[in-house]
Amino acid sequence: MIDEILVPALANKAAYLKDLIELCAIPSVSAQPDRARDVQYCSLWLSEHLRDIGLKADAMETGGNPVVFAEWKHPDPTRPAVLIYGHYDVQPADQNEGWTSEAFKPAIRDGYLYARGASDNKGQFLAHVKAVQTWLKAKGSLPVSVKFLIEGEEEIGGPHLGPFIAAHRDLLACDVAIISDSELQCRSAQPVITHGLRGLAYFEVEARTAARDLHSGSYGGNVQNPIMALAQLLSGLKDDKGRVQVPGFYDDVRVLDAVERADIARLPWGEAHLISETGAPAAFGEPEYSVAERRGARPTLEVNGIWGGYIGPGAKTVLPAVATAKISCRLVPNQDPQKVYDLVRNELLRRCPAHTTLTFRTFGMSAGTLIDLDSPQIRALARAAEATYGSRPLFALEGGSLPVVNDLQKHLGKPIGMLGFGLPNDNIHAPNERFALECYEKGIEASIRFLGEL
């Protein structure tokens, strides 16, 4: 029966590719003020496109870049509603950084569409749009209610989406939300459903030892050095194997069950992959866990930045008054960001070197996310993925955070299905971003099947 939808999708693939090319040609770079008109235009193009295929659609005010909202209401109100998230803004693209073809003149080579935004995120969300279009064209209706929420500030961490979601709970109300965004990945025939994201506690600690910068000749050896004090503080936070040494840090960490460990072991995130991706000579971290486990299932403490004293070229004999470090902890579900921050802060205060004053500043506290794999909607997504890609999806715990996931969970309280359509080597956020034509087609198929499975 689903073939009634899949066959016309295949028949239309040239037209669907043309739509993607048209969308990718719009330089909707949210970070560049001189692209503001392009960003606006992109939201209007999308709204019109969604109306053209039969949805009620609008570019809605947010105080920042518009959110494109579109809806198709099933006549039977007992049918479930799916909210599909995407973002139409893209990363900047500097032609001089090594683009083979122009970033906003989409080009097809070797089975890939090359363009900024092709994979992140235009190609991925448009696959869902094309699935909806196919259903509507073939059957005149969708099997469920569908809503699209396509924002224009994802690449600038824009502050407007959270408040928008909070202010439009009724409009956005759904039974499941679906996200196919860049952080998620499949490889060849192996789909991956992300069912956990890490949270974050991000803060800054400033160590001060004097009222002003001093001359190291006159005062060196006589005043506490804030860089040394900070180094001594930081060095005690981890042991030489990378284990965090803050008492209580790991207390609330959820223990993986056997199925999770088995799935994680099948992810292509081993040491060899890590080395080739990072250029590090070897993986480094808690020896009791695998690379893939450490990536998503273990909390981290990393220093993200440090500065103090003279940082220009050559020599300046300054004994600085202040040194500062930015520190963040990635947190697994169950861990409370505020509690972890307090543990680390108290440990730093407890071990504070002599004659050093510490000042703290927090920048972000978000809890981790864990999606219930047993919900019927996530099971439907898994069936759709397996039918499309030919193998059961792996369930992965991802290392990063997605603010939109936190916002959706908080305000809508429904399961979130994260199934990526891109490949790890799509060069997102880099020159020669691309999206495999096959990924686009498979994404359309997966979305068609998912709507049918619900």
Site for a copy of itself in 110-169 (CB under 8 A): none
DSSP string, 400-443: S--HHHHHHHHHH---EEEE--S-TTS-TTSTT-EEEHHHHHHH
Q: Pick out residues in 199-228 that bind a copy of itself (CB under 8 A).
A: 200, 202, 209-212, 214-225, 227-228
Least distance from a copy of itself to the Cβ atom of residue 171, Å: 30
Q: Is the peptide bond before 121 cis (omega within 30 degrees of 0)?
A: yes
Binding to a copy of itself by residue 270, rule CB under 8 A? no
Cα gap 22→14, rounded to integer Å: 12
* Between 18 and 307, CB nearer to a copy of itself: 307
Nearest residue to 142 (alpha-carbon basis) of 86, 59, 81: 81
| Residue from the set 6, 129, 177, 230 that interacts with a copy of itself by CB under 8 A | 230
Q: 437-453 and 376-389 are packed helices; what angle lies between their axes, rounded to 10 degrees? A: 140
Q: Residue 383 burial (CB < 10 Å; 0-12/13-18/19+)?
A: middle
Q: Which two tokens stand for residue 444?
A: 């359309």
CB of 27 to a copy of itself, least distance (A): 24
Regarding 303 and contact with a copy of itself (CB under 8 A), the answer is yes
Of 178, 237, 382, 384, the residue at the interface with a copy of itself (CB under 8 A) is 237
Question: Looking only at residues 20 through 59 of this chain, which bind a copy of itself when binding is defined by CB under 8 A?
Answer: none
In the complex, least distance from residue 147 CB atom to a copy of itself, rounded to whole angstroms:
28
Integer Cα distance of 353 and 228 in angstroms: 9
Q: Which of 1, 14, 255, 354: binder of a copy of itself (CB under 8 A)? A: 354
* Cα gap 339→199, rounded to integer Å: 12
Min. distance of Cβ 354 from a copy of itself in angstroms? Answer: 6
We find the least distance from the C-beta atom of residue 280 to a copy of itself, in angstroms, to be: 4
Residues in region 304-333 near a copy of itself by CB under 8 A: 304-311, 314-321, 323, 325-326, 328, 330
Q: Cβ closer to a copy of itself: 71 or 286? A: 286
Burial class (CB in 10 A: 0-12, 13-18, 19+), 33: exposed
Nearer to a copy of itself, 285 or 393 (CB): 285
Q: How far apart are CA 380 and CA 386, in angstroms?
A: 10
Q: Is 240 in the site for a copy of itself (CB under 8 A)?
A: yes
Residue whose structure tokens are 């099997």: 143
CA dihedral for 236, 239, 244, 245, sign (positive or negative): negative
* 110, amino acid identity: D
Q: Site for a copy of itself (CB under 8 A): how many residues? A: 83
- Find the binding residues for a copy of itself in span 378-417 (CB under 8 A): 398-401
Q: Which is nearer to a copy of itself, 38 or 407 (CB)?
A: 407
Q: Which of 100, 83, 106 is nearest to 26 (CA)?
A: 106
CB of 297 to a copy of itself, least distance (A): 10
- Distance of alpha carbon 35 from alpha carbon 47, whole angstroms: 19
Residue 180 lies near a copy of itself (rule: CB under 8 A): no
Find the shortest distance in angstroms from Cβ 231 to a copy of itself. Answer: 4
Instruction: Answer for the pair 362, 336: CB distance below 8 angstroms, yes or no.
Output: no
Residue with smaller CB distance to a copy of itself, 127 or 230? 230
Cβ(420)–Cβ(399) below 8 Å: no
Least Å distance, CB 145 to a copy of itself, is 33
Position of tokens 């408040």?
163
Stretch that binds a copy of itself, among 26-34, 52-60, 140-148, 290-298 (CB under 8 A): 290-298
Sequence-distant (6+) residues with CB within 8 A of 288 are none
The packing angle between helices 123-139 and 437-453, to 10°, is 50
Size of the chain, expressed as the number of residues it contains: 454
Which of 19, 102, 183, 386 contacts a copy of itself by CB under 8 A? 183
Binding status of residue 87 toward a copy of itself by CB under 8 A = no
Interacting span for a copy of itself (CB under 8 A) from 18-26, 34-42, 118-126, 235-243: 235-243
Q: How far is the CB of 74 from a copy of itself (least distance, A)?
A: 37
> With contact defined as beta carbons under 8 Å apart, do 114 and 175 qualify?
no
Smallest separation, CB 162 to a copy of itself (Å): 15
User: Between residue 360 and residue 379, which ones bind a copy of itself under the rule CB under 8 A?
Assistant: 363-364
Smaller CB distance to a copy of itself: residue 21 or 365? 365
Say how many CA atoms lie within 13 Å of 86 toward its Cβ: 26
